[in-house]
Amino acid sequence: MKFSFALGAALLALSAHAMAQTKWDLPSAYPASNFHTENLEQFAKDVDKATAGKLKLTVHANAALFKAPEIKRAVQGGQAQIGEILLVNYQNEWQLFGADGVPFLADSYDAAMKLYKAQKPFLDKKLGEQGMMLLYAVAWPPQGIFTKRTLNSAADMKGLKWRAYSPATARIAELVGAQPVTVQQAELSQAMATGVVDSYMSSGSTGYDTKTYEYIKNWYDTQAWLPKNAVIVNKAAFAALDKPTQDALLKAGADAEARGWAASKKANTETLEKLKANGMQILQPPPQLKADMKKVGDTMLKEWLEKAGPEGQQLVDAYKKM
C-alpha cells in the first residue's frame, strides 16, 4: 500500500516534470543571421519566459533539420511540432498558398499586409483541415532581379540560368525565355559558385545572406511581390498543451508577427545598403523592362485565377476591397 502510494506519487511527479519540459523542434530554412530566424529566436525566448520554461522551442536554422519544401509535411506528420515555411513553395499543392507570389498583385508592404489579411481566412481553413494552424506570417522584402547582365527589356533575360525557389519564380523564367533551376536558399551560394545559376529574383535580404555580390553585380529593384514565411503548428501538439501555455504561445506569435514585419522593412533598407557596400549596383528597372515584367505579372495573375477557381477570385476580390 505504502509502496504503491510512493510509486504513484513518483509517477505523478514524473509526469509533472515531463509537462514542465515540453520540447518542440522548430525547423526553418534560412540562416541564423536572417531577420526571420532572429525573430524566431526571440519568439522562442518569449515563449520560454511566458511559460516559465514549460515549453521549450529549439530553432533549427538553415534547413538543418528539414529542407525548405519538406517542413510543412514534417509539421503535419508531427516529426516537428512547429515549423517555418515559405508559403509560395506549396503553390502546386493549392494555388492559394501562392497568392503572395503572383508578381505585382501586392508590391509594397502595405499592399502585402492587405493581401495577407485577405489570404488569412483561407490559410486558416486549409491548414486546419490538414491538422495544422497558422500562428503568424511575415513578409520578405520586395523581390527584384539579380543578374550579371544589363537589362533593358525582358528580351535581355533570354537564356539566363535562372534560380527559382517556387513554381511562380520558375514560371517567370519560362515566360521570359530563361532556364529555370529550382534551388532553395540554403544551396544558393553553391549554385552560383558552380555556375549552375547566374540570375534569380529575390530580396536584398537573401542577396546579402547568400553573398550574391561575389558572383552577381546588378539588382533591379522591380518590387514585384513580397512572399511570406509562415509559422505553423501541429494541432495535436497544440491541443496537448495546457491552456496557459497555449495562450502564451498565441500571444508570443502575435508579438512575433508585429515585430517581424517591422524587422523585414528594416532588413530591406539595411541589406540593400550592405549589398551596395559590397559592390552591387541597385538599379531602377528601365521602362521597357518594367512594362515587360508587368505583362508577365498580368499573364501569371490570369493563370493563377484560372487554376485557383472561385476561392482564388474571392481572395482577390476581398483584397481589392481593402
Which residues lie below 8 Å from residue 263, measured CB to CB, with a gap of 6+?
A: 35, 38, 39, 138
By beta-carbon proximity to ligand PCA, the closer residue of 40 and 248 is 40
Considering the rule CB under 6 A, would residue 202 count as an interface residue with ligand PCA? yes
Considering the rule CB under 6 A, would residue 205 count as an interface residue with ligand PCA? yes
By beta-carbon proximity to ligand PCA, the closer residue of 86 and 241 is 86
Using the rule CB under 6 A, give the single segment among 145-153, 197-205, 214-222, 292-300 that binds ligand PCA: 197-205
Using the rule CB under 6 A, give the single segment among 42-50, 190-198, 202-210, 295-303 that binds ligand PCA: 202-210
Considering the rule CB under 6 A, would residue 227 count as an interface residue with ligand PCA? yes
Minimum CB separation of residue 202 from ligand PCA in Å reads: 4
Q: Do residues 282 and 276 touch, judged by C-beta distance below 8 A? A: yes
Considering the rule CB under 6 A, would residue 104 count as an interface residue with ligand PCA? no
Using the rule CB under 6 A, give the single segment among 7-15, 17-25, 201-209, 231-239 that binds ligand PCA: 201-209
- Helix (H), strand (E), coil (C) string for the chain: CHHHHHHHHHHHHHHHHHHHCEEEEEECCCCCCCHHHHHHHHHHHHHHHHCCCCEEEEEECCCCCCCHHHHHHHHHHCCCCEEEEEHHHHCCCCHHHHHHHCCCCCCCHHHHHHHHHHHHHHHHHHHHHCCEEEEEEEECCCCEEEECCCCCCHHHHCCCEEEECCHHHHHHHHHHCCEEEECCHHHHHHHHHCCCCCEEEECHHHHHHCCHHHCCCEEECCCCCCCEEEEEEEHHHHHCCCHHHHHHHHHHHHHHHHHHHHHHHHHHHHHHHHHHHCCCEEECCCHHHHHHHHHHHHHHHHHHHHHHHHHHHHHHHHHHHC
Considering the rule CB under 6 A, would residue 206 count as an interface residue with ligand PCA? yes
Using the rule CB under 6 A, give the single segment among 3-11, 200-208, 254-262, 307-315 that binds ligand PCA: 200-208
- Binding to ligand PCA (CB under 6 A) within 128-187 occurs at 140, 165, 185
State the residue number with the nearest CB to ligand PCA: 203
Residues in a beta bridge with 199: 147, 162
Considering the rule CB under 6 A, would residue 271 count as an interface residue with ligand PCA? no
By beta-carbon proximity to ligand PCA, the closer residue of 203 and 245 is 203
Using the rule CB under 6 A, give the single segment among 17-25, 172-180, 203-211, 281-289 that binds ligand PCA: 203-211
By beta-carbon proximity to ligand PCA, the closer residue of 55 and 63 is 63
Binds ligand PCA by CB under 6 A, chosen from 39, 81, 203, 271 = 203
Minimum CB separation of residue 28 from ligand PCA in Å reads: 12
Q: Which residues contact ligand PCA by CB under 6 A? A: 86, 140, 165, 185, 202-203, 205-206, 227
